[in-house]
Amino acid sequence: MDREKVIKGLECCSVPQGHCEKCPYETEGFVAECTSELAKDALELLKKQEAVKPIKQIEQNEWTVCGNCRNHIISKWIVCPYCGRSVKWE
């Protein structure tokens, strides 16, 4: 997923007349097709930014790990320092 491509596509679609000729999602004459692809990519990027719930991992001791990358985290952290995802403590 190319974040810069999504940003450029959103910039092109956000002006009143559009700048389809500059858009990285531009297809030959089918605006619905390119905006659909742009929407899918943007949604995927947004979902990757959602906070994850920590998981209790039990081995010899009980550890709390990031729900995304499974690295050890502590309850004071609001962001996993290993993968950068927000942590959703309840």
pLDDT tens, residue by residue, 41-85: 999 988 888 888 887 766 666 788 999 998 989 888 899 999 999
Domain ranges of the chain: 3-48, 51-90
> What's the CA gap between 23 and 11, in Å, rounded?
8
Burial grade of 52 (CB within 10 A; 0-12, 13-18, 19 or more) = middle
Pull the structure tokens for residue 47.
């979902």
Note the pTM of the prediction, 2 decimals: 0.56
- Alpha-carbon dihedral 64, 68, 69, 75, rounded to 10 degrees: -30
HSE, side-chain direction, 13 A CA sphere, residue 83: 18
